[in-house]
Structure 1
Amino acid sequence: MKNTTFWTTARDSFWFLPVVYGVCSIIAAGVITTLDVWLVPKASDSIPNILLTGQSIAKQLYAALITAMLTMTTISFSTIMVMLTTYSSQFSPRALQDFMQSKITQHVLGVYTFGFLFVLINLWLLTETNQQDLLSPFFTVIITMISLGFFILFIHFSARWAQVNFLIGVIRNKTSALISETFVERTYGEHQHWEPSQIDTIKEKDRQTIYARQSGYIQQVYYNYLINWASVNNMVLESTFQVGDYVPKGMPVFHLWTLGDKNDNLPEHDDFLVIGDERTDLQDIGFSIGKLVEIAVKALSPSMNDPNTAINCIHRIGGLLSELADHYYPVTYFSDKNGDLRFIMEQENFRDYLFLSFYQIKHYGKDDISVIYSMVDTLYKVAIVSEAAIQKEVWNFTQYILEAVDSRNLSAMEYQHLKDITEKFAHFCGEEWDWEVAEG
């Protein structure tokens, strides 16, 4: 499991794909050089002249191409630095993960690495003593043309990512996929309730504890491996955290009870979960939604003063909450394939997602009636597509948002606009709402 964690971390890192491309470039250069040494002298008469290049021309060509590769790489890295600055100052530092971990970004730099090393190695292997025609310059030109195509793709790609609406859409789509993955049907059992007497019987046994060996954020939990391990060892585990929580070193992360013979060989937490220095969107829905919240809050700052971007984020958050309401069910207990309880973990309540989604926007946007109206309207639409229990949660949270509104300072039209949507919302939920009563 630790190897799996290492390879997952390496695969998602920024340097992994360029290193893979670099290794492939060295191998490709070796293969092409072998063809120049062994195949070309024997079959030069059968190879079209357009594919063969003399030593002097090859040297000039390599010198020009390696300069071109360096130029494209430099411009691309400069573009990346501009994007980093833009994201940090205007959008959200957390959104940098999405751009830097994008496969297009990493593949483009990987292609540059491949092309630069390929040209450099071929130039290094070029000798003055050997005056035979070469096949390698032809492949070098092809690779450079491919690199040029990726350079154009990267410029287009970066221009799109610099647009806040595109970034918001990317985050929304990734979060939507994460929601679907989180609540997909599993091979193990998921339960909202469990027999209290069984829980009490289990917790009467001697409790053992697994402690965090490092400080950091809970990034991922290996549910399948954890439940299978508990089943094999006839144990029940209970987590003291939720995905996305920060745990200091030495904090208990799991309590466990042995239902059979006591097992003193406790595993380390690395076998069951990943703790890292920053939050990620591997399993953390709240963190993904939080990126949109940060973009909205940044747009509402006096330096930006861009309420339309904030409203766009509110609409996208509403769409995610609607999907979450459609899939959401509060799972606390996890059983193995035999139906025996193996894992206990408290999950986020839907009202927690509501609070996370809007409490900061409400705080910083309470003086902008367009922002308040958009939040109320978005929550109304979430309630429409949700079941009764969720509707009640949404309506209660809407009242919390409306507490920030001083209706006495609104113009008549603003007051009527907000009053209409609020009363329509209340009527849909079977509730009563009166501004005068609410304001006391």
Structure 2
Amino acid sequence: MKTRIRNLLEKLSGNYWFIPSVMAVAAIGLSQGLLYLDQIMGPQGLWQGSAFLTTGIEGARSTLATIASSMITVTGVVFSITIVSLSLASQQFGPRLLQHFMRDRGNQIVLGTVTSTFIYCLLVLRTIGASVEGAFVPHGSALVGVMLAVVNIGVLIYFIHHTAEAIQVNNVISRISRDISNAVKRLYPEKRSSASQPEADPAPRKPLPDDFNDRAAVLCAEDSGYIQAIDPGSLVQLAKENDLIIRLLRRPGHFLVADTPLAEVYPAEAITAELSTAINSQFILGSKRSQEYDLEFLINELVEIAARALSPGINDPFTAIACIDHLSSALCDLAKRSEPSAERLDSGDSLRLILHMTGFPEIVDAAFNQIRQNARTHASVTIRLLESLGTIMRFAWNAKQRDAIIRQAIMIEKGCRDGLPEAMDAEDVSKRYTSIFKTMRDQRSGESQRGDDTWQLRRPPTY
């Protein structure tokens, strides 16, 4: 249930109707509340004796009508600027980056402010009757309408400034980098202990039954779409109730095709049509990938910006280098964290679920493969790639991480041999390439002196 709520909130944060709708409802409530106060207080109430707070029927009507008509015009302008900025972002950075602009809370609040002000003035305006003696005049409600108009002037100025900043490439890269950092902390919450100290409370891996491969059956998907989230708690509960062990073959970010393998279920004889449907229902599918549980998707967004920058039509190596810098920062943080266990246990400490996890090597490949392939003729970008790998190597703490880094370094060095005809450029690349191996040797030397070159799994979480 928690997974589904997080997925729903993530979807709501990426649209332009939720916050404006909430603010519109609030405007309706505010108008009715203030009108009620105006009716209770009457013309001799709170506003008596203040020329600033009181006005006649015609004054209130013309003021609110002017504000309402102005707000609907401003709303059109705001929507127009928003659509233009989305179109520009799609062309410059790629269509997948539109999700980040759609989640921009500033734009959503601006749209909500102008539309809710229009609704407020319209609702107050309809209560003003004809110009007769003793007619009701909502002094307080009209004053609040004027105050909202003043606020909207500031909001419009903010919106123009915010839009101009939001489409700058450095700000786009920085915003995606923050999302990557948050995802790393959320998906890999446990930082490993100091390299000089062993991990605390290690737990051995829960073994699978000896006949798992013989008695397990492949469960196929019932629908097609991108896996946006998986509810492990519900899967563990299903496995416990039916005395199963489930090993997933897919993870968030994978595209699922109907009638293709989804999971392995042990024992096979326990599978029923109802159970198959129940397991499939724990996979939340959608038409696009989601950043909530898919770190590789966020990595790909920065990679897409870098790949577009290196295309012949744009040829902007500085943007590509900025993307590499932020990617290396994220990978350094990831290397310092313990890889979470793929196993999930029930309350009786029995193995019930094995997740399909994204490991450090897969993230490294996702971050560097396409940039490396597009940067073969760019000496500055190739050099920065190797420098970043050298920085990441300083935080690598096991053979799996080091092998992933070395593999990328070897491919970068081989790929640029024919792409960099200038001898001095090739020499600079060779120096950075050699320094990565020197860093690795220093790492291994320090670990051999401490005797702590181990990959220890943390205790699997229970449900």
Q: Is the 8 A contact 1:235 1:259 kept in 2?
A: no
Deviations along 1:93-133, whole A, 9 cap, x unmatched?
21111111122221221112211111122223322156333
Take 2:302 and 2:43, find their aligned partners in 1: how far apart are those partners? 62
Structure-1 residue corresponding to 2:128:
126
Which residue pairs with 2:206 in the alignment?
A: 194
Could you tell me which runs of 5 or more consecutive residues in structure 2 were left unpaired when the two chains were aligned.
Answer: 192-200, 443-463
Deviates more, 1:252-261 or 1:101-110: 252-261
**Residue 257 of structure 1: aligned partner:** 266
Q: Are 2:305 and 1:303 equivalent residues in the alignment?
A: no
Query: Could you tell me which amino acid in structure 2 is paired with residue 133 of structure 1?
Result: V
SS in 2 for 1:323: helix
**Mapped partners of 2:419, 2:17: distance in 1:** 57
Counterpart-to-counterpart distance in 2, 1:126 and 1:419: 80
Q: What SS does structure 1 have at the residue aligned with 2:227?
A: strand
Structure 1 residues 409, 258: CA separation in 2 closer, same or farther (over 3 Å shift)?
Answer: closer
Which of these residues, 376, 394, 399, is aligned with residue 386 of structure 2?
A: 376
Q: Residue 252 and residue 411 in structure 1: after superposition, are their counterparts in 2 closer, same or farther (change >3 A)?
A: closer
- SS of 1:50's equivalent in the other structure is coil
Contact 1:318 1:379 in 2 (8 A): yes
Deviations 1:343-367 (A, max 9, x none): 1122223222122111111122111
SS at 1:327 equivalent: coil
C-alpha contact 1:190 1:332 (8 A) present in aligned 2: no
Question: Does structure 1 retain, via aligned residues, the 8 Å contact 2:190–2:338?
Answer: no
Of 48, 57, 64, which aligns to 2:66? 64
Structure 2: distance between partners of 1:350 and 1:358: 12
In the alignment, what sits opposite 2:282?
Answer: 272
CA shift in 2, pair 1:395/1:428, >3 Å: same
| Alpha carbons 1:212, 1:252 under 8 Å: kept | no
Runs of 5+ consecutive residues of structure 1 not aligned to the other structure: 432-440
Deviation at 1:6, TM superposition (A): 5.2
Name the structure 1 match of 2:341. Answer: 331
Aligned counterparts of 1:366 and 1:123: Cα–Cα separation in 2: 66
**Which residue is equivalent to 1:354?**
364
Aligned to 2:176: 171
Residue 438 (structure 2) pairs with residue 427 (structure 1): yes
Looking at structure 1, the residues matched to 313 and 419 of structure 2 have their Cα atoms a distance apart, in angstroms, of: 28
User: Tell me, what secondary structure is at the counterpart of 1:52?
Assistant: coil
**What TM-score, normalized to structure 1?**
0.88
> Is the partner of 1:219 in helix, strand or coil?
strand
User: Taking structure 1 as reference, are residues 6 and 384 closer, same or farther at Cα in structure 2, changes over 3 Å only?
Assistant: closer
Matched-pair identity in %? 25
| 3-state SS, counterpart of residue 178 of structure 2 | helix
Two-structure CA RMSD over aligned residues (Å):
2.9
Matched, 1:406 2:410: no
Q: How many Å separate the matches in 2 of 1:410 and 1:191?
A: 53
Per-residue CA deviations over 1:251-275 (Å, capped at 9, x if unaligned) read 3434433699877642535642311
Q: 1:408 to 1:62 in 2, by over 3 A?
A: closer
- TM-score, with length taken from structure 2: 0.84
Letter in 2 for 1:236: I
Segments of 4+ moved more than 4 angstroms:
5-8, 44-47, 189-192, 202-206, 258-264
Query: For 2:254 and 2:416, how far apart are their aligned partners in 1?
Result: 32
Of 231, 238, 249 in structure 2, the residue corresponding to residue 240 of structure 1 is 249
